[in-house]
Structure 1
Amino acid sequence: MQLDVAAAELDSALTNFEGKIIKAGDTIALTTAITEATNLYKNTEEGVEIGQNVKGSKATLKEAIDVAQLVVTNSANKTTQQLADAKAALDIAVVAFENSKVTALTGLLNVTVTSAGVDRSNHINLENDETLVLTSSDSTKVAATVSNDSSGTAIVTGVALGGPITITVQVKKDGQVIKAGTFTVTVVPMAITSKMITNFDYSTVKGTQAKLVSKPVTLSDFTGNRKDFSIVIGSDRIPIYVSWALSTDFSKGVSMGSVVESHIQDFYYKKDGANGILNRPIAAFGFEDTFQISAFQPGSASSFTLVGADWSYFFEQSSGLGTDTDISKNRTFTISDGTTMENIQLTSNFVTIDDLVNHINNRLMNTGVKAQAEKVSAAQFKITSTSSTGNIIIDGVNKADFFE
C-alpha cells in the first residue's frame, strides 16, 4: 500500500515537472509572414518615380526579414511569445516599407509665360530637412529657365518661344526622393496692351504767316491827300506813303499793293542791295479793291506792326501776327524687339484705331522690328512680338500716354 502511494506521488511529481518545461513555439505564422515580406521585397522597385519605393527602403526591409528568419532558424529554442514578438516586429517593418513610397505632389500648375516674363505660381511646402530639386527637360535652357528659392517657390523665366517643356519636381529628405511631380512650361510671344484711347488726333498744326488785308481802296488819286504809315518788322521800320494818282491800268487794290511793294523793295535795296530785295522778309500785293501785306516765312517771328498817322485809313487792325508750328498734339514712343528699334511718331489725325494700328505696323515693317500691332477694341490696341525670342520693349517720351 505504501509502495502504491509512493509510486502515485512520483508520477504526479513527474507530470508536474514535465508541465513546467518551456516548449518550442509554432513557427507557421512567422514563416508565413517572412514569405509574404520576401515576396514584397522581390516585387517592389525602388526609384524616384511616383509609386516606387524610396531608395534604401528595401535594404531596411531585408534586414528585418533576416532577423525574423534567424528566429525561425533557432525556433527550437524560441518560445511562442518570442515567435509572436518576431512576427510583430516584421509586420511593423512591412508597414513602414509600404509607407516608404514616393508620393505625388498635388496642386502643381502648368505655366504659360512670355519671353522675359517670370512666373511664381507653383509653391511646394517643405517640411524640416526637406529640399527641393527642379529639373527641366529643356536641358539647354533655350525656352525657359527654372530655379527655386528657399521657401519652395518654383521660379520660371521665359527665354524664347517654345514648349511645352516638362519640369520635374522632387522633394528630397536625407538625400532620397520622397515626393515627386511635374508641370509644363510654354513660352508665348510677349504682348503689351495699350491703355484705353479716346482721342486719335495727334496732328501738327502748321505755323502761319503774318498778314494784313486792307479795307477796300475807294480813292484813286491821293494828290494833295498824302497818306503815311510804316511797317515795323523785327528791327526794320519801313516807311510807306502815297501822294499821287494811282495807275488806272490796274484795279485800285492792285495799284495800291504795287505802291507798298515798291516802298518795301526800295527800303531793302538801300539796306543791302540786290540781296536785300531777294531776302526781304515781307511783301505786298493787291487784288480787286484790296491789297495785302504778308510775311514770307511762317511763325511768330514773322509778326509785324503798322504805325504812323494813316495806317487806320487802310486797315482795320495794326498787327499782323504769325503763328509757330504747334506740335503739342504730337506723340512718340519706341518699340524694340531687343535688336532693332523704331521710333513711332504720331503727327496726324487718325480717324479710327484701325488707322493708328496700320500706321504703327507700317513703321515697324519699314525698320524690320519683329513686332506687330493689333486692334483689341475700338479704343485699344496691343503690340505682340513676332521674334523667336518673343522679346518686346516699349519706351520713349510719350510711352506713359499709351501704356502702363
Structure 2
Amino acid sequence: MHSGRILFIGGWHLLSGLNHRTRHMANYFEGRFAGMDVVGYRKMYGGAPASLMKKMCVGVRNLTQNRIEIKSNGNSRRIIIRDVFAPDVVEMPIKDLWRYLNLCHCIKAPYDAAIFGYPGNAWTAALLKRSGRVKKLIYDDWDYHPGLETRSFKRNRVERRERLCARVSDVVITVNGLLADLRKKQGAKQVEVIPNGLDLSLFSRAREKQSHPPTLLYMGSLSPLWNIEIAIRALPTLAERIPNVRLLIAGYGPAESALRQLSRELGQEERVKFLGTFAYEALPSILAQADVGITTALPDSTFRHYATPLKIIEYMAAGLPVIASRLGQTEIIMQESKAGLLIGNSADEFAQAAEALLKDSILYRLCSELALNYSAAFDWNLLLEDAYQVVTRTIGETRI
C-alpha cells in the first residue's frame, strides 16, 4: 500500500454513463493508498419523469436534506454530491463553485494528488489546488470533448476548459498519441499515454459463437458522427452477393429514427435489427451473434479524429475483424493491428470490404487472429497498473 492520500473526482461518470474508465480506475486504486476519497455527482432531482414543478420541489428538498452522501470502506470513502440546477449559459462555473464549496465541507485535506477527468471539473480541480487542499493535479483525459458540442458557444467553452485542464495539471494521462500531442501544444507539463481497456475474460465468452447468418455489427452511440448510415446504404449491393446478410445495431442515440427511416426507404428493414440499449455484461452475447464489427465515422469529424473508440478493441477481443473509416486514431489502430479493412466515405467501399471479409475464409481467419493478438495488450489490469505507477511517481514512491 502506498502512503499517499488521493482525491479521485469521478463526477457523473462514477455512477452512470458509457465511460467505464472512471469506474475501473476508481475501483483499482481503492485499497492501494493510505487514504482515498472518491467523488461522484447526482442530479438535483434524479427521479422518474415528472412535471417541472414536482422536479423543482423534490430537487430543493434533496438539496436541503440529502445534499451530500458519504460511505466509508476501510481507508476509502465514497462522497456523492447532489448537483444544483443552473441555466445553460452559466451552468459550468456555477456547478464548479457548488462542487468546490461542498467538497470543502467534507474532504480531509490536504491530499497528495487529485485525479479528475472531464473538462466540466476544470475549475473545481484548479480551486482545490490553488487553495492548497491538493498538492498535485492529474488530469485523466479520455476524449476530445469539444467535438461533441454542436453549438459554437458550448464548443468554445469546453475547448477553453480542456486547455485549462492541460495547463493546471502536473500530469496528463491521455488515451492516445494524437491527444497527447494536442495537450502538449495546450501547455501540459507532462503527458503519459494509457489507452482505454476492457475485461478480456468477459469478451472471451463472445468467441463461443451462436448460430447466425452472415452478420455485421455496430454497437455504441447512435450519433450522426458515427456515420452508421453508410452500412445501411451498402446493404442493397451487399445483399445481391450475400443474400442472407444482416446488420445488427446495438445502442441508442439521436440518429436512431433517421436510421430506421433509411432502412425502410432502401427496403432493408428486415435485414437491419435495432437491439436498443444493453447492459455492458450483455456485450458477449451480442458479439457472439456477429462476424464483423463496424467502426465508421464522418470524414470531417474533429471529434472522431482524436477519439479512440473502445468498440474497435471490444470487437477485436471477441475475435471479430473490423471495417473502419480511414480517420485519425481509428486508422492508426487498424494500421497497427491489420485486423480488418479500412474504407473511405463510400457505401460501395463498405460493401466490398464486407464481402471480402464474409466470403474469404482465409482473410477472415487471418484478421480474426490478428485482432485477438492486438487486443491482448488492452487488459484493464495491465493498463490500470500503468496508471497507478504514474500516480505514485507523481506524488513520490513511499510504501507502508
Q: Normalising to structure 2: TM-score of the pair?
A: 0.19
Please identify which structure carries the higher helix content: 2
